[in-house]
Structure 1
Amino acid sequence: MSSPEHKQKIWQMIKGIKVGMLVTLDDDIPRARPMHLVQDEYDGTLWFFTRRSAEKVVEAASDHDVCLSFSDQEKGVYVSLSGKANLTDDRELIEKYWNPFIAAWFPGGKDDPDVALLEIKVQMGEHWKAKESKAFQLYEFAKANVKKDATPDLGENEKFGG
């Protein structure tokens, strides 16, 4: 759980990335696949369209604990979010989040009975944000190697929830 300010901070980090890797358990083996954010704001819940018949839905129903990771290497932003997944076919939400990008993945349209939303209620997470350029980061690595007791200062890292 996090404050409204922290939720806004997380949203600012992930909203431009758009695609996160969703990790579920497939017979006790972690399995990741890309999922595209569909919302325009974040209040602690993330939404993704899915087919009701998808393996990830079966896996999330078996074990609701999931993890999502987002990364933007150019900006030095990395976010890991863990929470509970649930399937919903709430027609109001489907209508709200439906868009041409999503329609391309669902040729049967939003009224297809296999169309659903995967709701992820985030419970905890961690993020990293590099504070400087790649050149500065290389300098920090070199400095840490020269000063045997130093570690590189690459920027912000924060855990929340849990």
Structure 2
Amino acid sequence: MADLKKFDENPQHQLLEEIKGARCVMLGSPDHDKHMQPMSPQVDVDAGVIYFFSDNTGELGSTILARPSSVHMCHIDKDYQACVKGMLSPHNDSATIDKFWNPMVEAWYPGGKTDQKMLMLKFEPHDAAVWASDKSSIGFLFEVAKAKIKGEMPNMGKSKEIQL
């Protein structure tokens, strides 16, 4: 269950922490005719930035190398959802690569940290729409039943738009 107190007090920090705990998010392309793709986020909560290891020969990597662009990123969890808009650009800083390098990342890049195909992308979030719920499965059913009896919408949590 999402912490609604954090949602009210510091939704920006909560968003980054939620994304940091995710195995993957869906990252959009600047080419809106292309589908979003799953990417593993590497989150620097203190800097408010999300990094992705990518491939410079793929559609997303080659497009961003040609022109950094505004894109959307979506995070979906059972109790927390977000649609984030921000700037995506290449980021070839060796200190950042070292900071987030791990055995899972290494599996994708046989050439190691200097693999010719590896491209680190930097996502700088600008704004987001976020939704959070503190309802358990039983609480969810209770809200649905109560709403049906009263003829109103169920109270499933909170939502808001935030600046980052």
- What band does the TM-score fall into relative to the shorter chain? 0.7 to 0.9
What is the TM-score of this pair, normalised by structure 1? 0.83
- In the alignment, what sits opposite 1:55? 59
Kindly tell me: are residues 87 and 40 of structure 1, through their superposed partners in 2, closer, same or farther at Cα, counting changes over 3 Å?
closer
Q: Please give the per-residue CA displacement for 1:46-95, whole angstroms capped at 9, x wherever unaligned.
A: 1011112221123444571211111222xx11122111100121222212
Secondary structure at the residue paired with 1:154? Answer: coil
Quick check: which one's helix share is greater?
A: 2
Quick check: which one's strand share is greater?
A: 1
1:69 aligns with 2:71: no
Secondary structure at the residue paired with 1:29? Answer: coil
Task: Give the total of aligned pairs.
Answer: 155
User: Structure 2 regions of 5+ residues with no counterpart?
Assistant: 1-8
Kindly tell me: are residues 110 and 121 of structure 1, through their superposed partners in 2, closer, same or farther at Cα, counting changes over 3 Å?
same
Give the whole-Å Cα distance in 2 for the aligned partners of 1:63 and 1:88. Answer: 10
Secondary structure at the residue paired with 2:112? Answer: coil
8 A Cα contact 2:44 2:50, kept in partner: no
Kindly tell me: are residues 155 and 58 of structure 1, through their superposed partners in 2, closer, same or farther at Cα, counting changes over 3 Å?
same
1:41 aligns with 2:37: no
Give the whole-Å Cα distance in 2 for the aligned partners of 1:112 and 1:17. Answer: 25
Of 131, 147, 159, which residue of structure 1 is paired with 2:150?
A: 147
The equivalences for 1:17-28 within 5 A come to 17-26=22-31, 28=32
Of 11, 35, 44, which residue of structure 2 is paired with 1:31?
A: 35
- The one-letter amino acid of 1:14's match is I
By how many angstroms is 1:30 displaced?
4.3
